[in-house]
Structure 1
Amino acid sequence: MKLIILDRDGVINEDSDDYIKHPDEWHPLPGSLEAIARLHQAGWTIAIASNQSGLARGLFDITALSDIHQKFRKALSHLGGAVDAIFVCPHGPDDNCLCRKPLPGLFHDIGRRFDTSLEGVPAVGDSLRDLQASAAAGCVPWLVQTGNGSKTQAKGDLPAGLRVAKDLADAVDQILSETN
């Protein structure tokens, strides 16, 4: 199985300090949906791992989150793409859960769901916590320079084995060229 794990906000769609609370606020980054469609068409299993503390903060509810994901899936399907699973952590930063990145709980859930090792699985994110979670789970961390990626890269103290790409399309181009 060729598995890839993607963060959502800042990687696939525009991020917001005010959170993405409604489908009208969800806007894909240029080339991101096409990149996911290329992965899907190349036979990759695609999982999303996303912290969504806006749920715990009461900024939106699970219905709004489902509507956002429905908009994402519909836009992706128009390009011939699909994702296999979306995993979210609904907890706030002080809830002491195991699924909130930088902890690797969501990644472990993905490994169990697909009954596969995460060793060497590419995991694309834009924040240090994305990279830390993926590295702790045995994935190959990929940093995109969209979203918070440029700021994350400038801060340094990044995990070993880090790969860097301009955006998701660039990461996918590199991954597909290395695996074909």
Structure 2
Amino acid sequence: MIFNATTLKDAWLIDLEKRGDARGFFARTMCKDEFAAKGLITDYVQQNTSSSAFKGTLRGLHFQKGEASEAKLVRCTRGSIVDVIVDLRAGSPTYMHHEAFELSASNYRELYVPPGFAHSFQTLEDDVEVSYLVSSPYTPAAEWGLRYSDPQLQIHWPLPVTTISDKDAAWPLLETGAKPFF
């Protein structure tokens, strides 16, 4: 795996090192030793998959608070997405900054999202599937989110939002004073 630093502290964009022959290729998508060498979380307790039918679907910005905070290793396995993460860690040099990444079935990239980050993605085409590992079990009492359209975040989504859950559309705005988060 090739670990590419992002502008956000502790977040990594990972390119697979493909080893190919006439059959196609083989590549590792997670290696405990390589993750540990970078100081990343190496233990995952769940693997989740989401399927989105329509281009422009938006999921997030999600995170879990407190001890339920989770690292995620995100990969788009069908179609393409723009994945956005926001650093919510008070004291971090990139606190409240965000960055966007294109992940697709054809570029094979994956994104390591550290604990203390909000995570979201928007589908760039119809019929998209995203798979991700998480380091903490889903804990409903710790679930929280930010509104995707919060003017303080200034996130520029590549497409108009066509489909979003009622919950994701209703997360509070930052002006309500809901920070710091971690």
Q: TM-score, normalised to structure 1's length?
A: 0.29
Where relative contact order (Cα < 8 A, 6+ residues apart) is larger, the structure is 2
Q: TM-score, normalised to structure 2's length?
A: 0.29
